[in-house]
Structure 1
Amino acid sequence: MTTRKRMPRAERERQMLEVAEAVFAERGYAAASMDEIAEQVGVSKPMLYEYFHSKEGLLLACIAASRAQLRTATEEAVAGATSAEDALRRGLHAFFVYIREHQQAWSLLRNEMVLIGTSASEEIEATRRQQTDLIAKLMAGLLDVGSPLRVEAAAEIVVGACERLAIWCEQHDEVTPERATEYAMAVLWSGLRERAQ
């Protein structure tokens, strides 16, 4: 008799998150069911609850995983930047590549209106805050933007503008991450160029 080898917990959790992200993106949070997710993963529903405690807990874990991936992608992209312009271009490109390659994760982040009032909306805002903080830190080091308040305002503008552009890009498959980056740079860098150190 052959015994089935147990999957390591981290690998099983990653598998659960991938399936859950796909189901949430396809059906929406309200219509998604733990039964369907468990079935697609090939585990029992109680096991899903053991890992994540609730459907909302599973959603929060999906969003947190996406946030960590986005942060890593952005930080790695700007690590070798040679100037403020290069850093902005690399960071924007990393963001647009991420949303193109992780459309299900992006779907969860952009459909926040149905999640308002839940912990998930707080997680989504934490993702924005993460990107704003990263951009503000970069600006403070590479640009003469002025007071901390002004730096934070500029970072918020970059995040907000890129979020709206990303939503627009979904309606235009022909807009590649490279093209989206150029569109964003044309508007954003023109306002920041004079402050480059």
Structure 2
Amino acid sequence: MTTAKRKRMPRAERERQMIEVAEQVFSARGYAAASMDEIAELVGVSKPMLYEYFDSKEGLLVACIRQSRTELRDVTAQATVGAATAEEALRRGMLAFFVFIRERRQAWSLLRHEMALIGTPAAEEIEQIRRQQTDLIAAMVSAYLADDDHLRAEATAQIVVGSNERLAIWCEQHEEVTPEMATEYAMDVLWRGLDPRQG
């Protein structure tokens, strides 16, 4: 009876289920210690089915990271829609980021343990997340601040993304720091450098 239900589950839904469980296991155990056997058992499928969907354990990890990348891009981009000023857009975007990492701790855990993945496709996926975020911020800086210096806009975006990643790691050690507090801490430092009136 259960087998029949599994076969009827649409492929996309089954894939989402596999990714969700894998994210939990990778986050809890780390990539190296995570077992495809355990993931398959928790999902309720055979290990060969996992390989059929993702080719390898690393392929499954890449799928987890890719999904998180898409979700993070969507929430931060959506957060800035309708912002009237550069300051509001930056604050909204950063708040969306800090809320995401608070609510999606398992996804964030995968992203911050990138050192173990250097030289792998998974590392490239993580770097792609940064590119998406920096592209979004660089475009915002150029549009809102009417800055024609593209190198300056790109450098600014790199600074914002890098500093927020470090702040997010620090926030993990301080549970009392809410996404709103983290956003204000970041704005206090970053906006001074961005606001042309401060010059």
Question: Normalization by structure 2: what TM-score?
Answer: 0.95
The 5-angstrom pairing of residues 144-155 of structure 1 reads 144-155=146-157
Partner of 1:122: 124
Q: Pick from 92, 104, 107: which aligns with 2:94?
A: 92
Q: Within 5 Å, give how 1:95-110 maps onto structure 2.
A: 95-110=97-112
Q: Work out which of the residue numbers 164, 170, 188 in structure 2 matches 1:162.
A: 164
| Range with bigger deviation, 57-66 or 135-144 | 135-144
The percentage of counterpart residues that share the same residue type is 72
Residues 144 and 195, structure 1, Cα contact 8 Å, conserved in 2 = no
Q: 1:147: Cα distance to partner?
A: 1.1
How far apart, in 2, do the equivalents of 1:3 and 1:101 lie? 33
SS at match of 1:174: coil
Deviation of 1:75 (Å): 0.9
Q: CA distance change for structure 1 residues 194 and 8 in 2, over 3 Å: closer, same or farther?
A: same
Segment drifting more, 63-72 vs 3-12 = 3-12
AA matched with 1:4: A
Q: Deviations over 1:12-48 (max 9, x none)?
A: 1100000000000110000001100000000000110
Unaligned ranges ≥5, structure 2: none
Change (3 A) 1:20 1:186: same
For 1:46-70, what per-residue CA distance to the aligned partner results, in whole angstroms no more than 9, with x for missing partners?
A: 1100100000000000000000000
Distance (whole Å) between structure 2 residues aligned to residue 189 and residue 81 of structure 1: 15
- Cα gap change, 1:32 to 1:61, in 2 (>3 Å): same
Query: SS at 2:4's partner residue?
Result: coil
**2:135 alignment partner in structure 1:** 133
Instruction: Give the alignment's Cα RMSD to 1 decimal.
Output: 1.5
What SS does structure 2 have at the residue aligned with 1:81?
coil
Match of 2:51 in 1: 49
Superposed displacement of residue 117, structure 1 = 1.3
**Paired residues of 1:99 and 1:166 also in contact (CA < 8 A):** yes
1:194 deviates by 1.3
